[in-house]
Amino acid sequence: MTRSWSIILPWATPPVKPNGGHGNVYAHAAKVKRTRQTMGLLARQAGIPPLAACRVELTWFVPDRIKRDVDNLTWTLKPLCDALAGTKAWDHKIVPDDTPEFMVKPMPAIIYRPGEPKEMILTITEIPCTT
């Protein structure tokens, strides 16, 4: 039986963006750190146990058809995945590393959901280890 966890993230929009610090590396680093700390806490609260490997999918649900670049979501996905495999005190290490043998990270998705508020969900699914 495959286990899966869907975590509703506390952000309506991606917290880490390619131009989020507008050139200020300290502001950008602070956003990355806060995002990673938040993900570590959410993963612990969800009770995700250590896994051999996992698939991590980021989905952003939006209420309108404004053009958005899905590539920009990868800037948020990276600290989320780092928090699931990292060694910082605030990380929740569920897999040995965030390399492809332990963590599959498909391109994030943006899904139109009319009449609903913006919402970001991270889905973590247990998969067999490839090693």
- Indicate the helix (H) or strand (E) that contains 104: strand 103-104
Range of the structural domain that residue 113 is part of: 4-127
The CATH number for 63's domain is 3.30.1330
Q: What is the chain's mean pLDDT, rounded?
A: 93
Cα distance between residue 39 and residue 105, in whole Å = 16
Q: How many domains does the chain have?
A: 1
Cα distance between residue 31 and residue 108, in whole Å = 19
* Neighbouring residues of 105: CB distance < 8 A, sequence distance ≥ 6: 55, 56, 77, 81, 98
18-68: per-residue pLDDT in tens? Answer: 865 566 888 889 999 999 999 999 999 999 999 999 999 999 999 999 999
